[in-house]
Structure 1
Amino acid sequence: MPKPATVESTTPEPLAPSLDEAPLRPFHLRVTATTFGANFSDGYALGMIGAVLATLTDARHLSGVWQGLLGASALIGLFFGSIVLGRVGDIIGRQKLYIYNFVLITIASALQLWARDPALLFTLRLLIGFGLGADYAVGPTMLSEFAPRRLRGVLLGSLTVMWTVGYVLAGILGTYLGKSQDAAYLLLASGAVPALLVLLLRIGTPESPSWLISQGRVAEARDIARKYLKAELGPAEAAPAARGTSTSAAYRELFSPGQARRTWFGTVFYSAQVLPYFAIYTFMPTILAALHVPDPDLQNLLLNLFLLGGGIIGLWFLQKTGRRPLTIVTFGIMTAALALMGAFAHASTIALMVPFLVYTFVMAGASNLTQVYPAELYPTHLRATGVGFLNGTSRIASAVGTFILPVSLEHLGLSGSMYWLAAVLLVGMLVSLAWAPETRESVTTSGG
């Protein structure tokens, strides 16, 4: 008798009951990698101008105004990109901006090689910042809406570590290789390489299921969840959220009852975090000269290593600690560190470098929160708008601090400059004590 045919098992892989409970899939790693790459590109682009600005100043005889404008150029672009394109991401979806913004960044970065006129370089860096501003809004938003809840905090926090890696690498390359004008422009243009890699990896990324649900397109969201994440939509996830509104209405909703305090907290928290950071690190050579360090290149390398180490170790605290206590404690330590620098302005180099290293280490760890908190403060239909708004306002603060610090160092000296930067951090701590919510367990589709 013939043997019965063997029936192969065709049992499909079981689906997770919800997006929040989905297992870690290769697709999660892909979205994470491209968002990491975007943050690396951002850190590299912003770090490189600070690293080569002294060389460009000597070669092009730049005035103090042009130094300030070039130092703040990408930050200004970030403001407009975050504010304008963040809202666009809530209207047309995340996916289109997620890809096309890096077309702009790649082209504008490459063109810096020939931008010998400071006005042209300023314009190109505005465009780079504009494109990066879009990614500040949609990059963490996409990652937060795809990532399982248990991994969301560490993945979002890791974005800042990748930003720091790009920033530190730019600082090291600029310090040791950017001593000539041609090398400086080549290093600026080299930012096109990581940007192009990010662009290529992002091609084919699907739309965020959470955004599709907010538009009533539940069937499309369910198909994407099943295909890419091997998950079903949970009952709460599949319930359509509020539909998109007009741009003016959306910004009014950021300041509506029940949401306004979160927006005001996010604005002050983010701005107070990054204003001293960008001001200090854009003009690091000037500050090291004011500290009278014997080997400024070596000290700059040491500070960059503390920057990187603080960001990595800060991830552990981000995963183990609530958002609110971590924010308050780190603001307090950073405030004390810069205040001590102001008090010890005329002391020995070692006495100044110790609080400077403490500030750098803690600030790098605390900066991880800037990728996590904003995305958790808002519901889906406002998330890209809210994240974009907070990123945009923080970049205005960064640009203002970057423009003012060289003037402050000239007129107030190191002591006065450190005192007012410490005051900015103190405001951040006080506002956090009053308003910071705990969002660690926030839900992907509905926000905190």
Structure 2
Amino acid sequence: MTIRAVDEAPLNKFHRKLTWACAGGPFLDGYLLSIIGVALVGMSKELHLSTGDESLIGAAALVGIFVGGLFFGALTDKLGREAMYTIDLAVLVGGSILSVFANETWQLVLLRFVLGMAIGADYPIATSLLAEWVPNKHRGRLLGILILAWYVGAAAAYVIGYAMAEIGGTGTWRWMLASGAVLSAVILLLRIGTPESPLWLVNKGRTADAQKAIKKALDRTVSIDDLLAASADEQAVEQSGFRDLFRGAYLRRTLFCGLFYMCQITPMFALYTFGPTILGSFGLGEGNVSNLGSGLISVVFVLGCIPALRLVDRVGRRPVIVWSFALMVVPLAVLGGGSALPVAVVVACFCAYALFSGGPTVLEWTYPNELFPTSVRATAGGVATSISRIGAAAGTYLLPISLDRLGIGTTMLIGAGITVLGWLVSFAWAEETRGRTLAETSALPGSGRSVAAGGERSDALRKSGL
């Protein structure tokens, strides 16, 4: 089922505002996950934290993201995108404020876990809402923009943390945590008033509400009769649930989305840790200045995403992800040479990896939203996020051990091996979804809703205004 009034609408102020509002979640993810690293320096001194305490505080948010994505994605498919879209931001505001008053390790761990759950919930909520509102030909680029916000948020955290530490010293760690509440409140205000997804409303049989939402957002009128027909079309499709993601034809898509996401993000987290060491060669790796160096790392990854944003809608999803993973292997393999490599080669490899990683990065949320129907779209996005965080948590925990016992060269070769797995998964399972409606991209082969069937249906829908 497709709503032509939405699918073929020209980009307007609503689409731009919705994109920025949805990008607020990834921005806060990058910010909140990074600001804690800056704040831990002063926090450890004041609260006398042990190394184990620091590890628990640092890992709590990642565990929370895993739980939040897994649970709240499914809840979003049942309750709707609009309500959850603002609730999770309210939790971020409250959790950040309470963090300012924490004086015990367990309090910080609990609050970081709650913040992680809200962040993990926002990924499937915001991405499914945006995917169901944006015009078909711009969907890949606009969904890809959301991941850029993560790196911008991380860079902002390091810059703001650096400035606070310079002005007030490491004792300003509580103000660093409070800054997350301010940013969350700003994004929450930006989200207020966003209409519900018309696809979700039609899927639930709420055609009158869908008509009002389209009129409010796009100033386009679709008749109730046409929406009733669309609703009947949607209800004719088997309504899938959480379990359906792990059986039958959807299992392959679930594994693809989760595994390529995990294979992309695991080495990336490792390079984030390795990055300050590289920058240390230029005098940017010691003391508070290292926060600026870490911010520069985020900027490099942002630059890598920019060309990919244009290519996913021009060249296609499949060639971008397959070729990107193949090219990402090369710099990691070269870094396998270890510390004996010249600094210029190490820096060049780091920049090349950042550039090539843009393809899988911008598709992290595009594929889950395109390959699954309305009834489980947010659920699938949440599952993919949860699977990816297994790799992120494992990489963060195991990297120091690997560096200590195996050395930097072997560690980078392990990263190359993980990236090869990402290439194999993408080569075997990546589907091409460029230029197709959500109804067509989410249809299973042989389901009667294939591209060909979609093309026949499009003629009828054009006559009905959908």
Per the normalisation by structure 2, the TM-score is 0.84
Partner of 1:340: 334
Tell me the CA shift for residue 156 of structure 1.
0.7
Partner of 1:275: 266
Tell me the CA shift for residue 52 of structure 1.
4.0
Partner of 2:146: 159
Q: Deviations over 1:386-411 (max 9, x none)?
A: 11111111112211211111222222
Partner of 1:111: 98
Which of 417, 426, 435 is 1:423 aligned to?
417
Q: Where do 1:237-276 residues align within 5 Å?
A: 237-242=230-235, 250-276=241-267
CA change 1:411–1:242 in 2 (3 A) is farther
Q: Deviations over 1:150-177 (max 9, x none)?
A: 2211111111112211111112333454
Which of 199, 202, 216 is 2:188 aligned to?
199
1:20/1:444 contact within 8 Å kept:
no
Q: Given the alignment of the two structures, is residue 24 of structure 1 paired with residue 24 of structure 2, yes or no?
A: no
Partner of 1:382: 376
Quick one: distance in 2 between partners of 1:17 and 1:349? 54
Which of 56, 60, 63 is 1:69 aligned to?
56
Partner of 1:393: 387
When the two structures are aligned, how many residues end up with a matched partner? 429
Tell me the CA shift for residue 253 of structure 1.
0.9
CA change 1:86–1:355 in 2 (3 A) is same
2:304/2:357 contact within 8 Å kept:
yes
Quick one: distance in 2 between partners of 1:311 and 1:177? 29
Partner of 1:188: 177
Q: Which ranges in structure 1 are unaligned for 5 or more consecutive residues?
A: 1-15
Quick one: distance in 2 between partners of 1:430 and 1:366? 13
Q: Where do 1:2-401 residues align within 5 Å?
A: 17-54=4-41, 56-57=43-44, 60=47, 62-175=49-162, 177-178=164-165, 180-232=169-221, 237-242=230-235, 250-281=241-272, 284-285=275-276, 287-288=277-278, 294-296=283-285, 297=290, 299-364=293-358, 366-401=360-395
1:178/1:187 contact within 8 Å kept:
no
Tell me the CA shift for residue 325 of structure 1.
1.1
Quick one: distance in 2 between partners of 1:108 and 1:244? 40
Partner of 1:414: 408
Q: Which ranges in structure 2 are unaligned for 5 or more consecutive residues?
A: 443-466
CA change 1:295–1:17 in 2 (3 A) is closer
Tell me the CA shift for residue 379 of structure 1.
0.8
Say which SS state the counterpart of residue 259 (structure 1) adopts: helix
Quick one: distance in 1 between partners of 2:86 and 2:234? 25
In structure 2, give the amino acid aligned to 1:370: E
Tell me the CA shift for residue 299 of structure 1.
5.0
Which structure dedicates a bigger proportion of its chain to helix? 2
In structure 1, give the amino acid aligned to 2:243: R
1:48/1:188 contact within 8 Å kept:
yes
In structure 2, give the amino acid aligned to 1:201: L
In structure 1, give the amino acid aligned to 2:78: I
In structure 2, give the amino acid aligned to 1:427: L
Quick one: distance in 2 between partners of 1:323 and 1:365? 8
Deviates more, 1:429-438 or 1:18-27: 18-27
CA change 1:151–1:420 in 2 (3 A) is same
Q: Deviations over 1:13-67 (max 9, x none)?
A: xxx9521012223322232221122222122112222344455456655444333
Tell me the CA shift for residue 292 of structure 1.
5.3
Quick one: distance in 1 between partners of 2:294 and 2:337? 22
Partner of 1:436: 430
2:203/2:374 contact within 8 Å kept:
yes
1:378/1:446 contact within 8 Å kept:
no
Partner of 1:6: none
Identity of aligned residues (%): 36
In structure 2, give the amino acid aligned to 1:226: K
Per the normalisation by structure 1, the TM-score is 0.88
1:102/1:196 contact within 8 Å kept:
yes
Say which SS state the counterpart of residue 204 (structure 1) adopts: coil
CA change 1:365–1:59 in 2 (3 A) is farther
Say which SS state the counterpart of residue 102 (structure 1) adopts: helix
In structure 1, give the amino acid aligned to 2:374: T
Let me know the Cα RMSD of the aligned residues. 2.6
CA change 1:299–1:129 in 2 (3 A) is closer
CA change 1:302–1:228 in 2 (3 A) is closer
Say which SS state the counterpart of residue 367 (structure 1) adopts: helix
